[in-house]
């Protein structure tokens, strides 16, 4: 799927019909992904574009953030000239207002579809700790098993903190470790012990298992949803 450029709203020709065509083609592709129950990175892209358009609408001006960040000093001088021309051009500003008025509800509607899928997936996920949880849970393992199969995808996770403006956020990075087989005599606890022996840098790792009642796309849906659930769970522990 071709992504919608971060500066699509202000790049090139600011014409209602042209921008409408670009937006609808993008949203059509996103909905195709949603039809396949694939949520990410499409949901996060939609949120980014929705917030970006809101910024333009609320400020009533074009912001430098809508343009590439790797501009040289000469480029910035050119940008200032273009910026002045655009904000002083009534027709361009009218077209921009029309595009924003059309785009926001369209993107919101698509976001609502994605939210419904997200909530459905989350409702069909069970997450539980494996063994005794240590005090330090910012790093550990995540087991994912779908539709009562014997296959278990093993991931290593690490929780990090970062600040933006005056807010603090938590972000979780995951690394695929391997695929395993779960049997009656090979439980999640057994898999955890094997990991401890294999990776000695985590002698007492926090470990969580995720089981889905239905089968969903692993990389595009289950893993991202599970990561968000795990961040919330660790944050409340």
pTM: 0.80
- Rounded Cα–Cα distance for residues 151 and 125 (Å): 16
Place of tokens 């009642």: 213
For 154-210, the pLDDT digits (tens) are 999 999 876 665 566 788 999 999 999 998 888 999 999 999 999 999 999 999 999
Computed over every residue of the chain, the mean pLDDT equals 85
Q: Give φ, ψ of 131 to 5 degrees.
A: 70, -160
Residue 83: pLDDT above 80?
no
The pLDDT, as a whole number, for residue 61 is 52
User: What's the half-sphere exposure (Cβ side, CA atoms, 13 Å) at 5?
Assistant: 13
Q: Where are the domains of the chain?
A: 16-122, 126-236
Residues 64/66/69/70 CA torsion (nearest 10 deg): -100
**170 Cα distance to chain centroid:** 13
Q: Which of 7, 29, 5, 8 is nearest to 18 (CA)?
A: 8
pLDDT at residue 71 in the model: 43
Please answer whether residues 143 and 154 qualify as being in contact, where contact means their C-beta atoms are separated by less than 8 angstroms: yes
pLDDT digits (tens, 9 = 90+) for 102-140: 999 999 999 999 999 999 999 999 999 999 999 999 999
Helix (H, G, I), strand (E, B) or coil at 76: helix
Q: Are 152 and 180 in contact (CB under 8 A)?
A: yes
């Amino acid at each position: 799927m071709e992504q919608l450029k971060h500066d699509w709203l202000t790049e090139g020709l600011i014409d209602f019909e042209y921008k409408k065509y670009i937006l609808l083609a993008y949203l059509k592709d996103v909905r195709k992904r949603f039809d396949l129950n694939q949520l990410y990175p499409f949901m996060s892209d939609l949120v980014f574009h929705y917030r970006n358009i809101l910024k333009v609408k609320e400020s009533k001006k074009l912001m430098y953030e809508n343009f590439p960040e790797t501009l040289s000093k000469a480029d910035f001088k050119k940008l200032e000239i273009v910026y002045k021309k655009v904000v002083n051009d009534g027709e361009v500003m009218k077209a921009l207002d029309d595009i924003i008025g059309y785009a926001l509800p369209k993107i919101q509607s698509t976001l609502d579809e994605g939210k419904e899928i997200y909530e459905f997936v989350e409702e069909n996920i069970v997450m539980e700790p494996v063994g005794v949880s240590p005090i330090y849970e910012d790093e550990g393992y995540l087991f994912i098993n779908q539709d009562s199969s014997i296959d278990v995808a093993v991931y290593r996770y690490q929780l990090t903190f970062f600040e933006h403006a005056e807010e603090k956020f938590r972000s979780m990075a995951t690394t695929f470790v391997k695929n395993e087989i779960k049997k009656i005599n090979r439980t999640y606890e057994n898999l955890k012990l094997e990991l401890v022996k294999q990776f000695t840098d985590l002698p007492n790792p926090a470990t969580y298992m995720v089981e889905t009642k239905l089968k969903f796309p692993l990389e595009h849906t289950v893993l991202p949803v599970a990561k968000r659930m795990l961040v919330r769970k660790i944050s409340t522990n």
